[in-house]
Amino acid sequence: METVELLQTLCDAFGPSGFEEEVAETLQRLIAPYVDEMRVDALGNLIAIRRGTGDTTLMLDAHTDEIGFIISYIEENGFLRFTQTSGWDARIVPSHALTIRSDHGTFVKGYIGTPPPHILRPEDRDKPYKLEDLFVDIGVDSAEAVAALGVRVGSPAVIAYPFEQLNEQVVMARAIDDRAGCAVIVKTLEALAGQELEATVVACFSVQEEVGLRGATTAAYQIEPDIALVLETTVAADYPGIEPQRRPTRFGHGPAVVVMDNSMITRGATVRAITELADEHLVPWQYRIPYGGGTNAGAIHRSRGGVQTGVVSIPVRYFHSPYALMRLDDFENTVRLVTEFTRHCPGLARR
């Protein structure tokens, strides 16, 4: 599938943590031509296997969940209270449109309303809203009307905004973290179609990364990889107000190689294997400056007796907010690097 169409399909699929079924079903359709077998495990991880000629297993991981919300209380007059599943800065949540998935499988739109300046008390003007004070207005006026729509305590929700392309190079979407990583795996499998590979590639689309690497924990245990590569998106902060040393990555400088975050310190040999491969194949790359964060690598590298694990992340601006921006050249260069990594895998595993 053409890149922008692929990104749009994946980014617009509904999948807050714990409710990733639509993403997994979409991915199953997309990768079916390129893999030998697939299964969805008890937690909802989609695990797809492409058999190689040798006995090395490479796990390619990307997470299917996105930061989202869950309905926590229904007011008698039809307003919905909600909480986040994880990952949100509560200050930026007010005044956005939401999509709620109902028990009927339909999507119900709503708006996180806030009072206008006309009726705000002067002392409240500079105060950020707390999540627990917010509510969603879905345009009905009773709890019965909410129930009739199939919305209840526990209904999942995400921000309502659709994928947009700003120009030939930049796209904007709600769930780029980490559907872009999922798309990298799809594109890598597509690029390697029909080629003989020594490594058995296990593509793992993991659930519940945003709530604590839960899917990757059980997936890595089943897959028992010899080597793993996590495909993620990460903070690009090359915009006003952020000093250079606090910019983990920059837009347009290629895939970012993670050396350390809060979840893993990448082994030096693994970092070198990735960066030397990028240099050999003339793929631009950058280090991700260590500055907070974490990925599924945190769970995978500690699986069983330990797994040599690397992380390659696409720089994304305005991470964990209603929209994130990504450059298509950074995406394509990440696909090139991961494709080469997969081709060279058994050699890299022995370094």
- Chain residues in the site for Co ion (CB under 5 A): 177-178
Q: Residue length, the chain?
A: 351
Q: What angle do CA 290, 293, 297 make, to 5 degrees?
A: 95
CB of 255 to Co ion, least distance (A): 14
CB 129 within 8 Å of CB 93: yes
Supply the angle between the helices 176-191 and 21-31 in degrees, to the nearest 10. Answer: 20
Of 71, 74, 64, 87, residue with least CA distance to 14: 64
Catalytic status, residue 209: yes
Burial class (CB in 10 A: 0-12, 13-18, 19+), 91: exposed
Which residue of this chain has its Cβ atom nearest to Co ion in the complex?
A: 178
Q: What angle do CA 292, 296, 302 make, to 5 degrees?
A: 100
CB of 295 to Co ion, least distance (A): 7
CB of 222 to Co ion, least distance (A): 21
CB of 129 to Co ion, least distance (A): 25
Task: Give the active site residue among 20, 209, 210, 232.
Answer: 209
Q: Which residues are CB-neighbours of 321 under 8 A, at least 6 positions away? A: 89, 92
Residue with tokens 């895998």: 345
Q: How far is CA 41 from the centre of its chain?
A: 19
Q: In this complex, which beta carbon is closest to Co ion, that of residue 178 or of residue 226?
A: 178
Residue 235 backbone phi and psi in degrees, to 5: -70, 115
Q: In this complex, which beta carbon is closest to Co ion, that of residue 79 or of residue 205?
A: 205
CB of 45 to Co ion, least distance (A): 15
**Catalytically active residues, by annotation:** 209
